[in-house]
Amino acid sequence: MKVKRFIARLLVLGMILSAFSVITPELDSKAATVVPATVNYKVHQQGYGWLPFVANGKSSGNIGVGKRLEAIKISFTSKLTGNIKYRAYVQKKGWTAWAQNGALAGTTGEKLRIEAIQIKVTGQLAATYDVYYRVYVDGAGWLGWAKNGEKAGSGGASKRMECMQVKLVRKDGGGKIPVNGAIKEAYVDKNFFSNEINIEEALNAYPLNPMITHDEVLDARVKEILNEVTTDKMTTYEKLFAAYSWIIDNSEYGEGTQYSSYSWNNSKMNYFTNYDAMVVNASYSILFEGKGSCHNYAAAFVILARAIGVDAYWIDGSVTYNEHKWVYVMLNGKPYFTDPQIGDSCERYPVMDRKYFFFKSKEKLGNEGIEGYESYYYDESKIDEYIGKFGSFAAWQVL
Q: pLDDT for 374-386, tens place per residue?
A: 566 666 655 555 5
pLDDT of residue 140: 81
Based on the fold, state whether residues 58 and 147 are members of the same structural domain: yes
Beta-strand pair 252-253/291-292: parallel
C-beta separation of 357 from 339 below 8 A: yes
The yes-or-no verdict on residue 30 having pLDDT over 60 is no
70 assigned to some structural domain: yes
Report which secondary-structure segment, H or E, holds 95: strand 94-95
pTM (2 d.p.): 0.54
Give 198's pLDDT tier (boundaries 50, 70, 90).
Answer: confident
Distance CA 128, CA 372 (A): 27
C-beta separation of 286 from 261 below 8 A: no
C-beta separation of 358 from 326 below 8 A: no
pLDDT of residue 393: 42
Q: pLDDT tens-digit profile of 231-262?
A: 999 999 999 999 999 999 999 988 776 554 44
* Residue spans of alpha helices (H) in 250-338: 274-282, 284, 294-308
Based on the fold, state whether residues 274 and 190 are members of the same structural domain: no
Average pLDDT over residues 333-357: 76
pLDDT of residue 122: 97
Based on the fold, state whether residues 211 and 283 are members of the same structural domain: yes
Instruction: Name the domain count of the chain.
Output: 2
C-beta separation of 85 from 46 below 8 A: no
Based on the fold, state whether residues 213 and 113 are members of the same structural domain: no
Based on the fold, state whether residues 349 and 370 are members of the same structural domain: yes
Give the CA distances from residue 220 to residues 64, 212, 233, 261, in Å, rounded to whole numbers and listed in that order: 36, 10, 22, 21
92: CB partners within 8 A, 6+ apart: 112
At which of 166, 194, 222 does a domain end? 194
Span of 11-20, 263-272, 280-289 with lowest mean pLDDT: 11-20
Based on the fold, state whether residues 49 and 182 are members of the same structural domain: yes
Based on the fold, state whether residues 185 and 265 are members of the same structural domain: no
Based on the fold, state whether residues 105 and 249 are members of the same structural domain: no
16 assigned to some structural domain: no
Beta-strand pair 146-147/252-253: unpaired
Span of 69-73, 254-258, 339-343 with lowest mean pLDDT: 254-258
Q: What is the mean pLDDT of the chain?
A: 81
The yes-or-no verdict on residue 31 having pLDDT over 70 is no
At which of 150, 172, 194 does a domain end? 194
Give 286's pLDDT tier (boundaries 50, 70, 90).
Answer: very high
**What's 253's domain CATH number?**
3.10.620
> b/e for 335-370, b at 16 or more Cβ within 10 A?
bbbbbbbbbbbbeeeeebbbbbbbbbbbbbbbbbbb
24 assigned to some structural domain: no
355 assigned to some structural domain: yes
1 assigned to some structural domain: no
**Apex 369 CA angle, 94 and 306, nearest 5:** 125
Distance CA 275, CA 356 (A): 28
Distance CA 288, CA 300 (A): 10
Instruction: Provide the residue type at 60 as one letter.
Output: S
Instruction: Provide the residue type at 322 as one letter.
Output: N
Average pLDDT over residues 56-60: 94
Based on the fold, state whether residues 160 and 222 are members of the same structural domain: no
Q: Quote the domain boundaries for residue 107.
A: 37-194
Based on the fold, state whether residues 266 and 166 are members of the same structural domain: no
5 assigned to some structural domain: no
4 assigned to some structural domain: no
Share of the chain above pLDDT 90, in %: 50
Based on the fold, state whether residues 205 and 189 are members of the same structural domain: no
C-beta separation of 181 from 367 below 8 A: yes
Give the CA distances from residue 70 to residues 91, 113, 346, in Å, rounded to whole numbers and listed in that order: 9, 5, 26
Based on the fold, state whether residues 169 and 48 are members of the same structural domain: yes
20 assigned to some structural domain: no
At which of 194, 218, 233 does a domain end? 194
Span of 20-34, 40-54, 142-156, 162-176 with lowest mean pLDDT: 20-34
